[in-house]
Amino acid sequence: MRWIGCQRNIYNSKVREDQYFRRFAQKSLQHVGQYAPIDQQYSQFKTDLTPYLSEVPSVLLRNGAVLWKQAYGRYFSKLGGRPVIHKKHGKQAVWLTSELFKFVPVTDTETGKITGHQLYLGTKKFPVGILMFKAHKDYKLPASLHISIHAGRWHVSFNYDDGIQEPTDKDTTDWLIQFDEAELRKMTAGLDLGVTLPLAGSDYQQFGFSEVQDKRLLAQERHKKCWQRRQARRTKGSAGWVKAKRKVARYQRYGADVRRDVSHKTSC
């Protein structure tokens, strides 16, 4: 959790620094034509007021600055807005590069089969520990990964090059051009995600929840509202308030997981 907070601190510091520079440039005529620097420098944030930043690997802090610069790159490419402050509630994640982790498969000494997977986190100077995880399929060693926590559940996610060459835009266009409009309309289906109705198709098909899912969603909604009332009556920041907050997040997560599962299974 400290690594998540320190990387978020660097990201938010870069956001505030950029906001300060841009606001100052707007009010100063002598800075007309000058723009705030878009770089990955972060050493100015390691001061006597932030001793905790010296207790984590510098690579971790660098990754926070890289994430900020990547967000600005998306802004310049018109794929999103400027980087904004990341809050400390909700889903939290940290980006780790290969210097900060190592995969070690767990093998059975008798059969030699792989029975599990271990993820070693940390460096020689800043060791963190071992994280057991469930691999849903075979994988190759990635160059980086994301570790996230949401409503008390941890996730490890990464991607790697599988060696399969993806078709280019020209290849896709050449393949689609062989069909006429009627064939393209017949082989194309539009899907719309909803809340009450999880999935609806362009051909007027509707895909709803099963009876078991409906009952569980109603029960989870009742529990969520109950814990929301308890959270509202408790002192903000207390242990009971934090417990109620986690309960609300857990029940909220269940509904999101069910909707994601239904849409995924229906569209596949």
Q: Can you tell me the mean pLDDT for 51-69?
A: 93
Dist. CA 162–CA 46, nearest whole Å: 39
**Which pLDDT band holds residue 29 (cuts at 50, 70, 90)?**
low
Task: Find the helix or strand (DSSP H, E) in which 207 lies.
Answer: strand 206-207
Spans of all domains in the chain = 2-88, 95-157, 191-267
The whole-number pLDDT of residue 130 equals: 86
Of all residues in the chain, what percent carry a pLDDT higher than 70?
A: 97
Distance CA 12, CA 61 (A): 12
pLDDT, residue 30, reads 61
Tell me: pLDDT of 7 over 90: yes
d(CA 73, CA 80): 9
Q: Which of 14-18, 53-57, 153-157, 231-235 has the lowest mean pLDDT?
A: 153-157
Q: Is the pLDDT of residue 69 over 90?
A: yes
By mean pLDDT, which of 25-39, 106-120, 234-248 is the weakest?
A: 25-39
| For the chain, percent of residues with pLDDT exceeding 90 | 36
Give the pLDDT score at 163. Answer: 79
Least confident of 130-134, 145-149, 209-213: 130-134
174 vs 196, which has greater pLDDT? Answer: 174
Segment 156-181 shows an average pLDDT of: 87
Quote the mean pLDDT of the chain.
87
Average pLDDT over residues 208-231: 91
Please work out, in degrees rounded to the nearest 5, the angle formed at the alpha carbon of residue 162 by the alpha carbons of 157 and 163.
155
Entry pTM: 0.77
> For the purposes of burial, counting CB atoms within 10 Å of the CB of 44, is it exposed (0-12), middle (13-18) or buried (19 or more)?
exposed
DSSP state of 43: G
Question: Is the pLDDT reported for residue 50 higher than 70?
Answer: yes
Structure token pair of residue 245: 């907050």
Q: Is the pLDDT of residue 93 over 80?
A: yes
- Predicted confidence (pLDDT) at residue 238 exceeds the cutoff of 90: yes
* Other CB atoms within 10 A of residue 63 CB: 24
Specify the residue for token string 């909220």: 252
